[in-house]
Amino acid sequence: MTEQEFLTFVPADVLLVCREAIQNGFEDYASNYSHVADAHSSRTVRI
C-alpha cells in the first residue's frame, strides 16, 4: 500500500487527531488515543 492509498483509506478526522497528537508532543495522548479508538470502532467496513 502506498502512502497515498493509505491517506485515502484512513478517515480525515482520524488523520487530524493523529497529526494533533504528534504536533502536541503526545501531551494529550490518552484523550487523542481514545478519540481515535472510538472513531475506528464506529467505522463501517464495506467489502
pLDDT at 23 over 70: yes
- Is the pLDDT at 4 greater than 80? The verdict is yes
What is the pLDDT averaged over residues 10-36?
76
The answer to whether residue 20 sits within a structural domain is: yes
Domain that holds residue 19: 3-41
* Cα(4)–Cα(16) distance, integer angstroms: 16
Residue 46, in any domain of the structure: no
- pTM of the complete model: 0.42
Tell me, what's the pLDDT at 20?
82
Residue 31 forms part of a structural domain: yes
CA distances from 41 to 15, 24, 35, 38, 44 (A): 15, 24, 10, 5, 8
User: Which pLDDT value is given to residue 28?
Assistant: 64
Neighbours of 17 (CB within 10 A): 20
Q: Which residue has the higher pLDDT, 40 or 6?
A: 6
- How would residue 41 be classed by pLDDT, with cut points 50, 70 and 90? confident
Domain count, the chain: 1
